[in-house]
């Protein structure tokens, strides 16, 4: 499979490295700052620098457009017409509607919202298929994405809130744990290194429980004993956390609408 990546910032660079680790895959990259593309190519023998977006489009089976939204339209206008029906155009720019994406090209069109977890070829990769894609085309793309992540298909109108959970989620979870660590340090019973170790190991343990088939509610039920410390702590969380998360989703939705410019960590 020949993968093309236009834009090798946080998103494009991560996807290029992830796909380059897959067998029988060649990754062709282009970046306006040529030195960034060459630095990326030095990380893998499967990554090759292309001289232009046109060269990427002409030499790839699947072309990922990973530029900033403000640059996206110009790139799409350039490469879209070069692609055939046998190719795919995949955008990481969630704010461009499918109607517009499909107007640029005859290729199959989709959107993906990556997560930092793809750095480890893991985690959720949000996928939204263009309305014109056939079932066979959808299966082809999802099969490709399974090489680097667990694809999760969403409708176009679901992208924003799903991005909060899967793409922004790692940063939100890390931030919550960091603030919890600070609060624990303020008790003056443990230092930050100790607290971070305890929280990190606990998070890994919870992830393993979820992988074993337990649900979030299962974990809560099994840990919480009526009248115990956990139950009292949960009561405190349930009084304050719902409004915090409501505010989070409202804030990100408002920002995305007003400022449709950003990268993987500014969605």
Predicted confidence at residue 264, as pLDDT, reads 42
Same domain, 147 and 46: yes
| Tens-digit pLDDT profile for residues 237-260 | 999 999 999 999 999 998 887 765
Same domain, 100 and 174: no
Same domain, 131 and 204: no
pTM greater than the 0.85 cutoff: yes
Number of domains in the chain: 2
User: Domain end: 166, 195, 219, which one?
Assistant: 166
User: Domain end: 166, 183, 214, which one?
Assistant: 166
Predicted confidence at residue 263, as pLDDT, reads 41
User: Does residue 248 fall inside a structural domain?
Assistant: yes
Contact predicate 64/4, CB 8 Å: yes
Same domain, 25 and 144: yes
Same domain, 147 and 195: no
Which domain covers residue 177, as residue numbers?
169-257
| Tens-digit pLDDT profile for residues 124-156 | 999 999 999 999 999 999 999 999 999 999 999
Tell me, what CATH number does 199's domain have? 1.10.3730.10
Predicted confidence at residue 239, as pLDDT, reads 96
Same domain, 62 and 112: yes
Nearest-5° Cα angle at 171, 176 to 213: 80
Q: Which residues of the chain have pLDDT under 70?
A: 259-267
Same domain, 113 and 14: yes
Same domain, 188 and 245: yes
User: Domain end: 133, 166, 199, which one?
Assistant: 166
Contact predicate 54/31, CB 8 Å: no
User: Does residue 262 fall inside a structural domain?
Assistant: no
User: Does residue 264 fall inside a structural domain?
Assistant: no
Same domain, 37 and 119: yes
Strand segments, DSSP code E, in 22-139 are 26-30, 47-49, 62-65, 88-91, 108-113, 124-129
User: Does residue 244 fall inside a structural domain?
Assistant: yes
Tell me, what CATH number does 65's domain have? 3.40.50.720
User: Does residue 24 fall inside a structural domain?
Assistant: yes
Contact predicate 223/230, CB 8 Å: yes
Same domain, 160 and 182: no
Please give the Cα distance from 168 to 147 (Å, whole number): 21
Predicted confidence at residue 256, as pLDDT, reads 80
In three-state secondary structure terms, 200 is helix
Same domain, 153 and 227: no
Same domain, 205 and 148: no
């Amino acid at each position: 499979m020949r993968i093309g990546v236009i834009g090798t910032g946080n998103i494009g660079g991560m996807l290029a490295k992830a796909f380059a680790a897959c067998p029988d895959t060649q990754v062709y990259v282009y970046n306006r700052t040529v030195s960034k593309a060459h630095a990326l190519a030095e990380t893998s023998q499967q990554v090759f620098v292309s001289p232009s977006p046109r060269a990427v489009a002409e030499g790839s089976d699947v072309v990922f457009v990973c530029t900033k939204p403000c640059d996206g339209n110009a790139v799409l206008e350039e490469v879209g017409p070069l692609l055939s029906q046998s190719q795919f155009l995949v955008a990481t720019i969630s704010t461009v509607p499918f109607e517009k994406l499909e107007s640029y090209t005859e290729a199959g069109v989709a959107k993906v919202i990556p997560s930092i977890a793809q750095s480890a070829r893991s985690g959720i990769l949000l996928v939204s298929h263009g309305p014109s894609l056939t079932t066979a085309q959808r299966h082809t793309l999802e099969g490709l994405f399974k090489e680097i992540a667990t694809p999760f298909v969403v409708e176009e109108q679901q992208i924003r809130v799903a991005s909060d959970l899967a793409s922004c989620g790692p940063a939100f979870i890390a931030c919550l744990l960091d603030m919890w660590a600070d609060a624990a340090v303020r008790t003056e019973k443990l230092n930050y290194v100790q607290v971070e170790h305890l929280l990190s190991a606990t998070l890994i343990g919870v992830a393993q429980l979820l992988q074993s088939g337990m649900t979030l509610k299962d974990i809560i039920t099994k840990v919480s004993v009526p009248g115990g410390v956990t139950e009292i702590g949960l009561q405190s969380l349930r009084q304050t956390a719902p409004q915090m998360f409501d505010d989070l989703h409202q804030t990100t939705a408002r920002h995305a609408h007003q400022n449709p410019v950003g990268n993987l960590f500014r969605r």
